[in-house]
Structure 1
Amino acid sequence: MPPRPPRSRWILAPLVLLGACAQEGDFGRPKPGAWNSLVETTGTLAARTRGEPASAFAFTDDETVLRDRAWRFLMPAFTRDAFLDVLANLTRTRVLPPSWRWPEVADYHDSLMAGAFRSPVSRYRRLGDDIVADGRLIPLFAATAQRVIDADALRLRSLPFVKTLEDDDVREAAMRVGENRCLIAWVRLAAAERAEGYRYALEHLLIEVPGTEAVAAERALTGLAGRRALLDPLLPPDAAIRCGLAPGATAAASLPPPAAPLVVKN
């Protein structure tokens, strides 16, 4: 008789099935539909059960765009493990708590180098493409986040003047503000973690398969660092800690000091 799987796997099985059946649209974003709506609703209920901010209010247009643009940063930058992709999607939708797993800085590099490839040049190009794609999306996310923050401020200022609100309405409004802020803090933290993974990959590629293609990747990393700075003023530095996304040190939620360039072109 084959060994029985650990109890934790039996518990995770229905959740993995739920995440695996989620349908993807363009660029891997969730495709609008009844099944994905079920996954999102399940995540909201799970978050509320855990005491995390989660509102039943309908999303504004900007709140919907914010969540669409957050997708890239809340999913693995690159992985060949379908099971981890499913778990990441369940985490993104908050079916699983965001703090269930801390990413390893080597994950991106390990996935990048796994499997066969014709030339190391393709690994440098993939790295550079991923860095550039993140850099292009950050200003769009930051602009949307600022509009959401401004709208939330208006929402809170308006509460005392609306005399017909029930206590549940006030609570749901507060939950939505907290939900939006924690999503922004999560993306800021994830963007920092992704940048660390990119730098780790570049450092190790330079040792494993040195090539002049590292120059372009280094420049892309410098550009990414500049754009990531757009996320800093959106929320206080300790926002990720307050949201339970990081341990009790502000370093994880703020930008690390810029690293010295790996490659210098004469």
Structure 2
Amino acid sequence: MISKRLLSKIECYPDVVEAALQASPTRQPQRQRVDGRNQTSEIGQRLAIRYNNVDCITLYEEHLTCLLHDNWLNDEVVDFFMVLLLELLNDYKNYDFCFLPASFLESIKRDRDHYVLRRLNVFEKKFVIIPVCHNYHWTLVILCYMNNMAAALNGRVEAGCSPFMLYVDSLHWSINKRILQELRHSFSRELGIRLNMPDIKLGDDELPYKIVRVPKQKNLSDCGVYLLHYTECFIRYAVQESFSVPEFLDHSLKVFELSSGVAKRENLKNTILVLARHFKRPA
């Protein structure tokens, strides 16, 4: 259900949305790297949706064609659906989660990551969800129990609640440890500033990673779709009071059921269309 609070933050042009999502399914957006990001061209494009909050996310007509059959999802579309999930959590007064934008790794390279981490208060969140696009392939990193990081460094954390990372890859490729190192370095620096301890370093012992077993995607273009599917599935389980990470990892193949992911692209399109109908004027 789309809340009034969410609608108040969105500017939408339903005719543009419908035109984009009813285009030929073989239409492929023009893809390019802009400032390291996985973007489609915006030149001459019609505005479709804008989410106006602290972070402004703008979707043009061409962006939405990413949702058509066998197209890769770009940064803007992934960020937008992450925001919708966050808004839903906020509707239920659940503030244990935060999402970092798809451009976060690029922010690290540009030495601007601390602005993002500080604004989102990542060390007050139980789960920090990070969509990662590297070489046109989407993977998912979830940092767990970040709100326990300071206590864990002092040995004052309950068993099973120490911080760690979950790594999710729908193509089952070898893990990109360089990305994990960059994330550790970024969070180390921010934690050092927060605690006034600049020498803090989060390594394998302080922030280890665990690989999540998930069904393998059957093509090379659905990685972004599965990233959103995995994120939604994880949240659905993590909000439960009985949630246990070890139990979740033991049953992850069932949790991330492949049949649900197959229909995800159509569900994403329908979500956008439902949103657009709220803004459509009567004929």
Same fold (TM over 0.5): no
TM-score (norm. length: structure 1)? 0.27
Larger Rg: 1 or 2? 1
- Greater helix percent: which structure? 1
TM-score (norm. length: structure 2)? 0.26
